[in-house]
Amino acid sequence: MDEYFERRRRMVEKLKEELNISDRVAEAMLKVPRHLFVPPEYRREAYNDYPLPIGYDQTISAPHMVAIMCELLDLKEGMKVLEIGTGSGYHAAVVAELVGKRGKVITVERIPELAKRAEKTLKELGYDNVIVVVGDGSEGYEKEAPYDRIYVTATAPDVPPPLIEQLKEGGKMVIPIGNFSQYLYLIEKKKGKIEKRNMGPVRFVPLIGKFGFKD
């Protein structure tokens, strides 16, 4: 484990240098063992800054993208957060560190096998403040709404209306939008209206679902 910690430390230091990420995000990423969220054959690559396959044509996002999204969300202790696209569960673990034990992360995954594996890893690592739900993420998860923050780890044709409805007044959402050309957007809900800011080009797998792309 010492070997992996040293690799993780170097990864975080690189992100601090290149992206000037905050101490809070850096500390959260230093705590989460990314190598335990990837298939065993990719563990040696876990702390390199690029996506890795996790099965079912899905990937674990590159560390720099996780850091960028966490910074844009401006996560605080005690917040309730909705994640769309659990994948391996890594991003949810980083967010769980940032919202703390008083906070809560609900994460929705459409592929049952990935959801089961992520839930197992998260529980084994003690992330009791993360709830994994199997379902259509493009519809959000109304049962726990409203949310202080929402983020989507797959690209959508547009912002799914249910996610706007489930976002608290004053809340923030980060979501990639587009098909061949994709851009990351920061969405803010102010007085019932939505403000969108383009944060630059990205590359994500498609969001499949009622308000996403068709399978």
Residues 101, 86, 72, 67, CA torsion sign:
positive
State the catalytic residue, choosing from 22, 61, 88, 181: 61
Pairing of strands 80-84, 167-177: unpaired
d(C-alpha 59, C-alpha 200), whole Å: 20
Number of other CB atoms surrounding residue 157 within 10 Å: 15
Nearest Cα residue to 70 out of 78, 81, 85, 55: 81
Number of other CB atoms surrounding residue 5 within 10 Å: 13
Note if 61 is an active site residue. Answer: yes
Nearest Cα residue to 113 out of 91, 138, 136, 88: 88
- Both tokens of residue 137? 């993420």
- Both tokens of residue 206? 């498609």
For residue 109, which amino acid is it? E
Active site residue ranges = 61
